[in-house]
Chains A and B, each alone.
Chain A
Amino acid sequence: GNSVTQMEGPVTLSEEAFLTINCTYTATGYPSLFWYVQYPGEGLQLLLKATKADDKGSNKGFEATYRKETTSFHLEKGSVQVSDSAVYFCALITGYSTLTFGKGTMLLVSP
């Protein structure tokens, strides 16, 4: 079956620090990969996605590259802001357009 493993949080950073949140996956077939973000008290927002190997998804300064050889989709940002504090979910999709999520990684950014 499909599974997604994310690094456990919370990840605590100072403003302007470099961010990496690791994500690896196990899937049958050729999944599409996603990062979702959830701000406190809110629903899920799509942050970025990649649909095939070597694709790079990017949005709001965040990037992630679909690495088939290492089955990874690590999220990176060069300089985080306090407003980036949220929970980040890595997810994949195969088959019937339903998502398999990682457990989420909380990011806390201090001024």
Chain B
Amino acid sequence: NAGVTQTPKFQVLKTGQSMTLQCAQDMNHEYMSWYRQDPGMGLRLIHYSVGAGITDQGEVPNGYNVSRSTTEDFPLRLLSAAPSQTSVYFCASSSNLRRASGNTIYFGEGSWLTVV
């Protein structure tokens, strides 16, 4: 059982380049989301999805694009990378936590992105 898989783990980009962070889960979860982690800021929500074909913005969506064509995959696209997007990115997935108190949110291992 792979859980939540993120790739790549490390990436260096030049300003203006585009790239996609991949996220896949094999637990048939409805909910998927992307967070970024910055020093002293905790984790902040970028985008989330409540099911295939449905996405919405989080707290810090500017400069990022997402799509959810399948239940399993939720890629995060950086359209034109900027140094301010240097961060650690985490993908997460869960079933509807309101339906069963035993459920939890599963995180990927993180993607370290540097924009120079």
Contact = CB atoms under 8 A, between A and B. Distances in A.
B79 interface: no
B50 interface: yes
Contacts of B107: 43-45
15 contacts: A32-B97, A44-B43, A44-B90, A44-B107, A49-B104, A51-B101, A89-B43, A91-B43, A97-B31, A97-B94, A98-B48, A99-B33, A99-B45, A99-B92, A101-B35
A98 B58 contact: yes
B48 A96 contact: yes
Interface of B: 30-31, 33, 35, 40-45, 48, 50, 56, 58, 90, 92, 94-98, 101, 104-105, 107-110
Contacts of A34: 105
A93 B42 contact: no
B50 A96 contact: yes
Interface residues of A, number: 22
A98 B104 contact: no
Given A96-B50, A99-B92, A99-B105, 14 more contacts: A4-B42, A43-B90, A43-B108, A51-B101, A93-B97, A96-B56, A97-B96, A97-B105, A98-B58, A101-B43, A101-B44, A102-B42, A103-B41, A104-B42
Contacts of B110: 42-43
A63 to B, nearest CB: 18
| Closest 7 pairs (CB-CB, A-B) | A97-B31, A103-B42, A101-B42, A43-B109, A101-B43, A44-B107, A51-B101
Interface in A35-75: 42-46, 49, 51
